[in-house]
Amino acid sequence: MKTYKKNMTILLLCNVILAVTWFNVKELQINRIAATPAFQIRFMEDQACLDAATFIRMVTRASSGQRVVDYNVIERKAKYTLSKEDYEVLLKIVEAEAGCEDVTGKMLVAGVVMNRVESGKFPDTVKGVVFQRENGVAQFSPIADGRYDKVTVSEETKEAVEKVLYGEDITKGALYFASRKYADPEKMKWFDNSLTLLFSYGGHEFFS
């Protein structure tokens, strides 16, 4: 009985030390958050919640006398890190272009924008891509007709954009998309004659 009490006392002290150490680490992380871009802040918050949950499970199991196993946690890492301005531009153009589409349709539009950012053939920022004009003509119809400025970004759009920023790519390399139903027939001729049709989804056709 004395040995058992001694072991439990040692175990309790270890738990207290773990708790103090964990909170000290979190305090250091918080001090760095102020200078972190908005998108990275959300990522760090997600990780903080994950670490806290893992820690609580470990302490609970330890205090119950169960064997504690140290598991490696697979971290989510963002493929793209955007400025707050670029992030907001991406949300709005996806909402304006694919507000009536499902999450997949929204991901496809966001993916095309990010493909352009990385391609070397277009501006290297989201804002630059979305507001690019060629011969005075806007590349995205919501910029031309003003829909971009009137949208309210939905939670589903935020979900779709986040999936893309974390590396989910379903675009097959598409750099262009068009809605044949609403597009100018003359403009669609250029798509058909100058580009390669990859696939269609929802109300859009995607090209490379």
In a domain, 78, yes or no: no
Same-domain check for residues 120 and 193? yes
Same-domain check for residues 153 and 103? yes
Tell me the range of 58-67, 115-124, 179-188 where mean pLDDT is highest. Answer: 115-124
| Contact status, residue 115 vs residue 175, Cβ threshold 8 Å | yes
Same-domain check for residues 98 and 189? yes
Q: Which of 57, 79, 52, 84 is nearest to 68 (CA)?
A: 57
**Count of structural domains, the chain:** 2
- pTM of the complete model beyond 0.85: no
Tally of CB atoms within 10 A around 88: 15
In a domain, 137, yes or no: yes
In a domain, 79, yes or no: no
In a domain, 77, yes or no: no
pLDDT(200) > 80: yes
Q: Between these two residues, 34 and 102, which has the higher pLDDT value? A: 102
Same-domain check for residues 88 and 34? no
Low-confidence winner among 38-52, 74-88, 120-134 (lowest mean pLDDT): 38-52
pLDDT(65) > 80: no
Residue 36 domain boundaries: 2-63
The CATH number of the domain holding residue 146 is 1.10.10.2520
